A and B are shown apart, each in its own frame.
Chain A
């Protein structure tokens, strides 16, 4: 069986700007794939190319083996949940949801039951006759979800559907979408710049940057085995310590430092990364394989941890410490980390 969706060497430029640069991937039937990246990374354009709202300059898009890249959006078997919801304000909830069914020529007798079922799925039974202006933000997004799912498209496209909602609602709807995916088994392409959303929902995540896919993999691998420096820095928080090898390995201020490396670094500039949760401070640092001295500049209370900001030869690092450590601003402290937790890029 052919994959639900295939992109083959897809490219799109706007004027002189390359928005999508030779992107290829394929998505299996029922898979939940997230396009994750900063703004301007090409994730939204990639999705608009799939939906048919932009024409690619080159490359192919196939849905279930059929080429669709020259078809207008209304001939493609995709349905989008838009960021704003994009509900029709002059139509009721029921009319909004039934719109796609009518446009796709579903027989009138079938529309009623499917509409009812869709309303149940998003738990909006009894809201049929409301207008979008009478709904809350979360209800609107549920209607948008129902409107897209009810036509049972080959691909459901999510265009940052939760970014306009506040945090608690975002978490709740995130869970609902995930649950519906498990229940209904639709194929989803989800665009977001929120990495926790991407990690929580996806079967696979494609990290995009400057129009290219930097890495496409399971969320665990994206986090634990980033393919390159961009993915490492983009996903999660990290501290960066610039190093130079100039005869010897040197810290930013030129002091030689000693790291326990599997193999020596070549000459030149390097960047060493450690996650703040994996950095140790004070007495805990003394047992680590790698250590460096710094001076505390300030600390913050973040709820679950205290974050100590440490100046190391002019470079700011930060360490997350469970509970308060016996240091204050101005104190000289030892930082340490295990070799397994550090990553060095040249």
Chain B
């Protein structure tokens, strides 16, 4: 028998098949969920007999679900702010200063990233369970969730920023000093714009990590402060309506939107520097 394809053809076909499989593997769960969110029935189940936007209406008119979405976004926003600011400052210090036990500090900063969420969540819940600050119960509040999420987000922004600062040309700082710019103005006028790619990437990581995080939020939120993933989990246990699929689509859309925004910004930024 004569083999009808050459070897390079075979490899090309295998390559295409593999890529297709990977794409399917990634896309199918999301696509199925997205399809399910348009199901008119009361149960998450195939086949879909009628299509409607019923569960979208339901989701956005439910104060419980919109509140959870708002909590998620709010916590993600604060996590982004805190971890980006502190991650950047810490990375700046790490690249510019020399101090004893630097390696140990680096390890400490990065450590939480590798800790299971359940360990951190439980630890924070135990540690801050009964702590009051200015008469406010810390436990159950959004602030504590922000702190918890920063444990993961900050090492990430730190890592990104440390790599970014290493590529930063110190001579630009000298040039700015030389022209009369003090350290603070130089930081905001020269250093920060030069590392903005890293800042934005780090911020995106933080935002997405916080938005996606579930275990720590489960440990640390109450009915009033619960995030969207937490509410989804709890409602899955009581009633598996397509509203869950809508919530999943909303969550995925939020992540996707932030990605698109960052890529648009990045495309504009790069055009300027090339």
Contacts and interface: CB of A to CB of B under 8 A. Distances in A.
A104 B177 contact: no
A86 B171 contact: yes
Contacts of A72: 177
Contact of B175 (A78, A80, A104, A133): A80
A53 B181 CA distance: 14
B34 interface: no
Interface string B256-274: 0000000000000000111
A51 B274 contact: no
A103 B273 contact: no
Contacts of B272: 90, 131
A88 B188 CA distance: 13
Interface in B187-204: 189-190, 193-194, 196
A73 B273 contact: no
Nearest to B179: A100
Contacts of B181: 74, 99, 103
Contacts of B189: 99
Contacts of B185: 103
A188 to B, nearest CB: 15
Contacts of B196: 90
Interface string B157-179: 00000000000010110111111
A88 B180 contact: no
A284 B77 CA distance: 88
A74 B174 contact: no
A100 B180 contact: yes
Nearest to A131: B272
A89 interface: yes
Contacts of A80: 174-175, 178
B180 A86 contact: no
Interface residues of B, number: 23
Contacts of A79: 178-179
Given A131-B272, A131-B273, A86 B179 contact: no
B178 A90 contact: no
Contacts of A73: 174, 177-178
B179 A151 contact: yes
B182 interface: yes
A147 interface: yes
B175 A82 contact: yes
Interface string A112-153: 000000000000000000010100000000000001100100
Interface in B92-149: none
B169 A86 contact: yes
B270 to A, nearest CB: 10
Interface string A65-108: 00000001110001110101011111000000001100110000
Contacts of A103: 176, 179-182, 185
Given A88-B172, A88-B190, A89-B273, A51 B178 contact: yes
Q: Which 5 A-B pairs have the closest CB atoms?
A: A100-B179, A103-B180, A73-B177, A86-B175, A103-B181
Interface of B: 169, 171-172, 174-183, 185-186, 189-190, 193-194, 196, 272-274
30 contacts: A51-B178, A52-B177, A73-B174, A73-B177, A74-B177, A74-B179, A74-B181, A74-B182, A74-B183, A79-B178, A80-B175, A82-B174, A84-B171, A86-B169, A86-B171, A86-B172, A86-B174, A86-B175, A87-B175, A88-B172, A88-B190, A89-B273, A90-B272, A90-B273, A100-B180, A103-B176, A103-B181, A131-B273, A133-B273, A148-B179
